[in-house]
């Protein structure tokens, strides 16, 4: 088990290319996140009515919930050009200066993983966002001079999975921050049904619900599971996705009805059967499972804790009653429950 897991919320570059076909292009096609959509629509419409570029927008939330999609929708709704970059792609302030100085009036600049910008670039960005100005350094050493360059008005859309890591001065430059939440099962079912339509695949309601229920609140995972289910239905059936095909495909890929995969279940089984439910330290748990502590902590644990299968205590990780019941085991009568 590694980051290539079918239920990993992050995507590789090649997967992003496949995903592009499934992105909603308008705010009205964007499923879920009703508060964010309503707020965003207001911000964009008000700016358009005034004939100005909207405030800078920060999109905060876990991977795979639609931050890149929303940035594209913002540009499309404004009829603006979109420039895409990311924190890790900007190694030096000069890289950012080159992008900023090429912006046209009204452009939308999307900066993914904005919390990973280099410090010098961050400082340049404050100034550009606040005063639409960038100081370009010409020359090197003692002869270097700084030439102020005025930029046309533009809108930065920043995306971050870790808004807590953003320095306050940068956070303050965003006039509007949208917090994306995990999707509920009904919303994910709509995502699956919409994607199936785009993939020209027939899917019944039960199958869409089955996939949605195993998608960990994340559209990216829903779309990935759907692609595997479609493969299964095409290879083993007539291409129509029904509940039996969905269940068989997801069993084959070891994603259970709660969306747990092989590593998640191995962690729970180890906790319950080897350590009587814990608490047990992370390192001991990871060694017993045969994984690196970091993998257990960053890949399996967040979802297990979020869904109430595991709790973190000062003495280590412990299984909850829900974990025992999920594995079909009887919780011990040790006063923990």
Ligand X SMILES: Nc1ncnc2c1ncn2[C@@H]1O[C@H](COP(=O)(O)OP(=O)(O)OP(=O)(O)O)[C@@H](O)[C@H]1O
The residues that touch ligand X, with contacts defined as CB under 6 A, are 10-11, 19, 22-24, 30-32, 63-69, 112, 161, 191, 219-220, 223
Catalytic-role residue among 107, 155, 160, 161: 161
Q: Has 295 been annotated as catalytic? A: no
Nearest CA to 132 among 40, 75, 52, 39?
A: 52
Q: Has 162 been annotated as catalytic? A: no
160 is in an annotated binding site: no
Catalytic-role residue among 214, 220, 224, 265: 220
Nearest distance in Å: CB 129, ligand X: 21
Nearest distance in Å: CB 223, ligand X: 5
Nearest distance in Å: CB 280, ligand X: 31
Is 148 strand, coil or helix?
strand
Q: Are the CB atoms for 55 and 155 separated by under 8 Å?
A: yes
Q: Has 67 been annotated as catalytic? A: yes
If the CB atoms of residues 97 and 196 are measured against ligand X, the closer one turns out to be 196
190 is in an annotated binding site: no
Q: Which two tokens stand for residue 125?
A: 């960005």
Q: Which two tokens stand for residue 77?
A: 């709704």
Q: Has 284 been annotated as catalytic? A: no
Strand order from edge to edge, sheet including 155-160: 82-86, 108-112, 155-160, 57-60, 176-179
Burial 88-116, CB ≥16 within 10 A → b, else e: eebeebeebbebbeebeebbbbbbbbbbb
Nearest distance in Å: CB 63, ligand X: 4
Nearest distance in Å: CB 195, ligand X: 7
Q: Which two tokens stand for residue 40?
A: 């965003």
If the CB atoms of residues 24 and 87 are measured against ligand X, the closer one turns out to be 24
337 is in an annotated binding site: no
Among all residues, whose Cβ is closest to ligand X?
A: 66
If the CB atoms of residues 208 and 323 are measured against ligand X, the closer one turns out to be 208
- The whole-angstrom separation of Cα 220 and Cα 301 is 19
Q: Has 112 been annotated as catalytic? A: yes
List active site positions.
67-68, 112, 161, 220
As annotated, the binding site for ATP includes 22-23, 64, 67-69, 130-132, 173, 183, 220
As annotated, the binding site includes 22-23, 64, 67-69, 130-132, 173, 183, 220, 312, 317
As annotated, the binding site for Mg(2+) includes 68
């Amino acid at each position: 088990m590694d980051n290539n897991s079918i239920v990993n919320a992050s995507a590789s570059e090649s997967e992003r290319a496949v995903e592009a076909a499934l992105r909603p292009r308008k705010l009205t096609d964007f499923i879920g996140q009703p508060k964010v959509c309503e707020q965003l629509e207001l911000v964009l419409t008000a700016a358009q009515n005034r004939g100005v570029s909207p405030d800078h927008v920060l999109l905060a939330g876990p991977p795979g919930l639609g931050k890149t999609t929303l940035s594209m929708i913002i540009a499309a709704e404004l009829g603006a050009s979109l420039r895409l970059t990311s924190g890790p792609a900007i190694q030096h302030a000069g890289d950012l200066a080159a992008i900023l100085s090429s912006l046209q009036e009204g452009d939308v600049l999307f900066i993914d993983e904005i919390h990973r910008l280099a410090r010098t670039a961050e400082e340049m960005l404050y100034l550009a966002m606040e005063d639409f100005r960038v100081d370009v350094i010409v020359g090197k050493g003692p002869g270097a001079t700084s030439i102020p360059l005025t930029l046309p008005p533009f809108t930065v859309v920043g995306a971050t999975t870790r808004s807590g890591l953003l320095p306050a001065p940068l956070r303050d430059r965003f006039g509007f921050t949208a917090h994306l939440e995990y999707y509920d099962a009904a919303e994910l079912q709509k995502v699956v049904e919409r994607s199936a339509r785009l993939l020209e695949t027939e899917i019944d309601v039960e199958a869409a619900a089955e996939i949605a229920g195993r998608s960990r609140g994340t559209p990216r995972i829903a779309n990935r599971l759907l692609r595997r289910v479609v493969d299964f239905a095409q290879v083993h059936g007539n291409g129509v996705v029904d509940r039996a095909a969905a269940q068989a495909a997801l069993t084959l890929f070891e994603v259970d009805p709660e969306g747990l995969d092989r590593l998640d279940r191995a962690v729970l089984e180890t906790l319950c059967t080897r350590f009587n439910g814990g608490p047990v330290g992370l390192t001991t748990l990871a060694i017993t499972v045969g994984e690196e502590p970091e993998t257990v902590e960053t890949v399996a644990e967040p979802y297990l804790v979020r869904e109430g299968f595991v709790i973190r205590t000062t003495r280590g990780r412990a299984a909850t009653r829900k974990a025992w019941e999920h594995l079909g085991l009887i919780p011990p009568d040790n006063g923990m429950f």
